[in-house]
Structure 1
Amino acid sequence: MENRREAIRQVAGCAVAAAGGAAGMLVWAPYGRRGIFGGFEGATEWNVLWLGLPVMTLGGVAAGLALFALVQGKWRWALKAAALLTALAGFGVAFDVLEGPPLSCGPGC
């Protein structure tokens, strides 16, 4: 009985990690569309794909695992996942991986 419960818990953890990764990709999608298919003056911004997609996907996985660990009451695992999430956010900010399109300044620029 205990092995079955542990197996269910492991499958649930994998499902939460996969859902977090999918959520990270969905959040990245608008940035990717603008960066790859219509960057500044029509130029492609590849850093949105090469850096932004992995950072957002891993961030979603880390957030899902942190939440899953919190629900189970495993505080150390939750803190480790939160530290990974913080490191990914710092990397994203440092390298500007989700650089948005330039702001339009209106008529007369």
Structure 2
Amino acid sequence: MSIEEKKNELYSINKRGFGFIRGIEIKREIKDGAASTFEVSISLSDIDGNYLKLVAISCTDISIGNINNMLFASIDLIDISSHQLEGSKYKVFDAENNLFELTCIDILEARGG
């Protein structure tokens, strides 16, 4: 999927009203004394309580801001593959309220609610 298709997919998610952060899960595998990169799942809700989950794979540089308030996250991404950061293709972030930011190899919509 191209960067423009990814951006349109995220724009569509926001346009459908999914932008309230319901939860953020950060996990990684630790096996044989070595740790893998992180996987970050961001659960987004609309005003009616329906939700979907975005999953970012091979994440680094994870930053989470103040998510205590019910602010609408306007999710955007930029292509950073030309920055020559090994294992990072996208920077994914909240463009409105700085609720989170991360770099990852890919991000996808896991399921709707």
Q: TM-score w.r.t. structure 2 length?
A: 0.29
Q: TM-score w.r.t. structure 1 length?
A: 0.30
Structure of greater relative contact order (alpha carbons < 8 Å, 6+ residues apart)? 1
Q: Which one has the largest radius of gyration?
A: 1
Bigger share in helix: 1
